[in-house]
Amino acid sequence: MKTVIHNARLVGCSAEAPCQARSLGIAEGKIAFIGTEPEGFNAERYIDAQDNILMPGCVDLAAWLREPGLDHKATLASETYAALASGITTLTYQPEPAAMVGNSAQFNLIQDINRQLGYAHIRVLGNLTQDLQGERLSNMGGLKRAGCVGVTNGWQPLQSLRVQRLAMEYASTHNITVFIYPLELALAAGGLVHEGAIASRLGFAAIPSAAETVAVAQTLALIEMTGTRVHFCRLSTEGSVRLIRQAKAQALPVTADVAAHQLFLTEMDIADFNPLCHVRPPLRSERDREALIAGLVDNTIDAICSDHQPHEIDAKLAPFQQTEPGISALETLLPLTLRLVEQGDLSLAQAIAKVTSAPAAIIQDPAGTLQLGAPADVVLLDPDYFWTLELDSMLSQGKNTPFAGWSFNGKVTQAWLAGRHIYRME
């Protein structure tokens, strides 16, 4: 259906099509025009978006979607619909031991299920090593031909730095990005929380910041050796931000992201043993949190992601150290990002870019920008809509969030995926 959305404030345009215009046309699943409706366009539907922001759908670099394999935690149906209603039109699937992506059949199964649903696009990261066991390399060439946008071992450890070197060299031969979760296991020593005063008072085994920064440094040394394109996932420490900043100054092929919750929570939030704040990497110090925001501001950190990890209720109903890490975070990615604008940390255009064009560039996806010919994955956002996150109203199957009760400004009211109008806020 040919559609014209007019009277909107456009945010997230390309340099070739700046956002002074207030109208955008959709035809055949793509953005057909920005600005004045061309003669003969013959739209079948007009949307008056007065007082709304029209922006590209968000591209989330980290969603643990669980299906197939962990359907008791979440399904593609529940999570992709929750994503769309939250302004996310592209999700990056993360492989994990119970939901791996080691061959084209597993890749195709995910896409077949999702194709029938049609709520959001799913881009897939394949296994870096066979069965994510960290020993033998996966068939990266086959995974790329199947359609994987990168490879990773997630939080599963690699047997040695030699395996990591070989994996990075092999990835380079296939021109595929390696997604690294930086953690030096020996230093982490099975810890759960950030090493600091709070961990000492609570008596928890702790993870020093150095466990992450050492892993970043090791990987940077291997990048200099192999030239591999690497994306660093979920930075959490000041030291990591500093190292990535230096690496970019040296023009190494690196990018990085941060989970939205790391920008608002710190180790202080576990002081009451709240298992909803049990995350990996752990919530760090206030100094680390400020360094992460500074990294976003100067583009050391390219993107903000949800790191969405839905869990069943029982996974969080236990003493802190017995619970599973992770936050159900699709529904807070965009609201928390917009809060950075309210705080004056980022401009609106910068904040939107961190969840749209920047992550899209990392996975080399054509989405994430309002430009002629781009996929019509767009959302309307009412910036003045004041709302409170309630567990009962969450659409994700996972209700494990520490942000319940938080109030936000800005709500997605309508969404289009490939030109199809498939969400309207009730």
Per residue in 188-233, pLDDT tens? Answer: 999 999 999 999 999 999 999 999 999 999 999 999 999 999 999 9
User: What pLDDT was estimated at residue 14?
Assistant: 78
Per residue in 103-116, pLDDT tens? Answer: 999 999 999 999 99
Per residue in 381-405, pLDDT tens? Answer: 999 999 999 999 999 999 999 999 9
Per residue in 157-177, pLDDT tens? Answer: 999 999 999 999 999 999 999
Q: How many CB atoms lie within 10 A of CB 48?
A: 11
The angle, 0 to 180 degrees and rounded to 10, between the axes of the packed helices 76-85 and 104-117 is: 60
pLDDT above 80 (res 15): no
The pTM score is 0.96
**Confidence bin at 418 (pLDDT 50/70/90):** very high
User: What pLDDT was estimated at residue 309?
Assistant: 97
**Least confident residue range of 17-21, 29-33, 112-116:** 17-21
The mean pLDDT value of the chain amounts to 96
Distance of CA 86 to the CA centre of its chain: 13
Among residues 307, 365, 377, 382, the one annotated as catalytic is: 307
The answer to whether 198 and 271 are in contact (CB under 8 A) is yes
User: What pLDDT was estimated at residue 17?
Assistant: 64
- Among candidate residues 116, 57, 87, 93, the one with its CA nearest the CA of residue 375: 57
CA end-to-end span of the chain: 22
**Confidence bin at 247 (pLDDT 50/70/90):** very high
Portion of the chain with pLDDT greater than 90, in percent: 95
Portion of the chain with pLDDT greater than 70, in percent: 99
Average pLDDT (243-260) is 98
Average pLDDT (72-100) is 96
pLDDT above 80 (res 149): yes
Per residue in 278-316, pLDDT tens? Answer: 999 999 999 999 999 999 999 999 999 999 999 999 999
User: How is residue 224 written in tokens?
Assistant: 């200099």
307 a catalytic residue: yes
Average pLDDT (42-64) is 96
User: What pLDDT was estimated at residue 20?
Assistant: 83
User: Which residue type occupies 91?
Assistant: L
Average pLDDT (320-324) is 94
Q: How many CB atoms lie within 10 A of CB 425?
A: 13
User: What pLDDT was estimated at residue 296?
Assistant: 98
